[in-house]
Structure 1
Amino acid sequence: MRKKTTVVGFAGLLIGLLLLGGPPVLSAAEIFVTIGGGDRSGVYYPSGLAIARMLNAKRHDYGIRATVEATDGATFNMNAILAGYMDFGLTQSDKLYQAFNGLVEWADKGPQQELRAVFSLHREALTLVAAVDADINAMDDLRGKTVSLGNPGSSQHWTVTEALTAFDLDPNRDFDAIEVMASDAPALLADHRIDAYFYTVGHPSETIRKALSGERQARLIPIVGPGIDQLVATRKYYIKATIPVMQLCADAAGQADVTTFGVIATLCTSARVPVDVVYDLTKEVFDNLEIFRRQHPAFYQLTRKGMLEGLTAPLHPGALRYYKETGLID
């Protein structure tokens, strides 16, 4: 986070007096903040862009100038925040939990307890798309098929692995597992090169819509059962989710909404970011939530109370101050 102060010298003052009929306006210190988004085709980037636009529209009130950066997503954003390259970033509830507590990929680095939550956003559902002619109607039907586990090296593999374990499915034993980019998966499905693929994403998703409206018929598969119930009950970063099929694709007429589970997109920051900056950002989004909700279809179900759910790191004091002032938190 950087501050910029404009200084006007004697020459500038004289020119202002001569040309403008009065002294030039001195600008106060302006705070520059950077928000880490994600891929431009996903939901993280437009989420960060919406927040930045709202702050910039009130920059004379807040003294904040915000920019959003296209990034590699959740883990990249948290690393950038910890390194001081970014001030805010979009991440996932499970990734934030793991980083704060020093788990999984953070085990060697230890707990990253400088991280703070600001608010949660849309649900990111673990989505399983399967070709109709592959005769996949449930998770157990993946046996013997060719299945993409998601983007190569993606952090979503942890969620997919936990889901497979809940059904006693081993990708090294039960099916042919590959890794392809989610953006490439619909074409591979259409070409019969894969039978199904996983993708953790906020809905509506253009990638999923393409798969459901392709020449090779496809459908969404529920990810439900006692094992999933146990996961959601014991992992605070998971939530049940419903995918609105008809909202995704008109060609999917007759398909009921699909039940699954997933994580929650979360705006996070660092404990180093000043209280007033986080307070102003939080206030602008929450005070104008209806405007914010119109910025992306994935936001249509957002509520003020719901945006305090699924937070897996301590709240930043600036956000907490706003929530207490407005009665959202006692």
Structure 2
Amino acid sequence: MFVRKSALAASVLAGGMALGGGQALAATDILIGGGAVTGVYYQVALQACAIINKQAADKLNCVGRPALGSVFNVNAVSRGLLDFGVAQSDANYNAWNGAADWDGKKVENLRSVFSVHPETVLLVTRKDTGIKSVEDLKGKSVNIGNPGSGQRGNAMDVLEMYGLDPEKDLNAQGLQQGEASRALVDQKIDAFFYTVGNPSAAIEDPANSTQIDLVDVNSDAIKKFVEERPYYVMTTIPAGTYRGVDEPTETYAVKATMVTSSDVSEETVYDFVKTFFDNFDAFKASNAAFKDLDPKEMLDGLTAPMHPGAEKYFKEKGWM
């Protein structure tokens, strides 16, 4: 993988050489793929880069961008189009094991960096739709997530376990999350699936514009599904997390994970991880979904091998 250099740092280097002072080194550009702009993945990418650019501008020039989600980010990292990407723990598992979207095509150069926040599989509806259970989606217009997103895979799993065929039993939409949130308010869809950390603006925004409900995703089949997979856990969204949702909601969760490629240098990953965790309080304070994170627990939920640059830092800290 070629090393990109920031234009600003390159110009400084050129200037320094022209003045005869020339030992300055250009900062390495790194690009992090997040998710929809209303989702927490984008905040992971954005806030991580804010820390990097403030604290390590001499070494790294970081850009966090919205992206299409877990599957897209894993593939883009593997192909060298992204240096880092945020992906669900189930996508991390499936890519490394050659399953699901990567059936028979293991992503050999995928590497784990750290995990972030837990993400719940949510089914959001308006109160006026009469949808009280997953089975009630039959005949309804439902957003299952855009192709390339982890939430689409989760939605397909849920529908299958509840005996629903998205092509025959409902009007399935493939909107990105910002579009889906607006479509729910505008009554263009009846419900949407979304896998996200809580609280999320993608749920708060429609909750502030219309009356919403969260639907339990907790059938016996779901619980068995979770028990058989180490990267899932059953969880509960507390009552009052979102406006108008006054009862707790039982569902299951994955973890967001930061991934990279074995082609990214050990030095680059080490500098990124060290700067991020040495300034972790700033990250925790940047979004409500991060406020309860414990750095020592951010090595959980990872499947692909740890990148040597990340491993070096974690061993220095005594976390592994």
Both proteins in one fold, TM over 0.5: yes
- How far apart, in 1, do the equivalents of 2:74 and 2:175 lie? 24
Q: Cα offset for 1:222?
A: 1.3
Q: 1:210 to 1:77 in 2, by over 3 A?
A: same
- Tell me, yes or no, if structure 1 residue 264 matches structure 2 residue 255: yes
Paired-residue identity, %: 38
Aligned twin of 1:2: 4
- How far apart, in 1, do the equivalents of 2:158 and 2:258 lie? 25
Q: Cα offset for 1:190?
A: 4.1
- Tell me, yes or no, if structure 1 residue 39 matches structure 2 residue 30: no
Please report the TM-score for the alignment, with normalisation by the length of structure 2. 0.86
Q: 3-state DSSP class of the match of 2:178?
A: coil
Q: Cα offset for 1:220?
A: 0.6
Number of aligned residue pairs? 313
- Tell me, yes or no, if structure 1 residue 231 matches structure 2 residue 261: no
> 1:52-201 alignment to 2 at 5 Å?
52-59=49-56, 63-107=59-103, 110-151=105-146, 154-201=149-196
Q: Give, as a single letter, the amino acid of the residue that structure 2 aligns with 1:26.
A: Q
- Tell me, yes or no, if structure 1 residue 288 matches structure 2 residue 279: yes
Q: Cα offset for 1:78?
A: 2.3
Which ranges in structure 2 are unaligned for 5 or more consecutive residues?
none
CA RMSD across the alignment: 2.7
Q: 3-state DSSP class of the match of 1:184?
A: helix
- How far apart, in 2, do the equivalents of 1:279 and 1:11 lie? 31
- How far apart, in 2, do the equivalents of 1:269 and 1:149 lie? 27
1:282/1:322 contact within 8 Å kept: yes
- How far apart, in 2, do the equivalents of 1:319 and 1:153 lie? 26
Q: Give, as a single letter, the amino acid of the residue that structure 2 aligns with 1:77.
A: N
Q: Cα offset for 1:87?
A: 1.5
Moved beyond 6 Å, runs of 4+: none
Aligned twin of 1:20: none
Task: Give CA-to-partner distance per residue, 1:95-145, whole Å, 9 cap, x none.
Answer: 22222222233236x211111000111222211112323332222333444
Please report the TM-score for the alignment, with normalisation by the length of structure 1. 0.83
- How far apart, in 1, do the equivalents of 2:299 and 2:18 lie? 52
The partner residue of 2:25 within 7, 24, 28 is: 28
Q: 1:288 to 1:161 in 2, by over 3 A?
A: same
Q: Give, as a single letter, the amino acid of the residue that structure 2 aligns with 1:101.
A: N
Q: Give, as a single letter, the amino acid of the residue that structure 1 aligns with 2:156.
A: T
Which ranges in structure 1 are unaligned for 5 or more consecutive residues?
14-23
Mark the structure with the bigger radius of gyration: 1
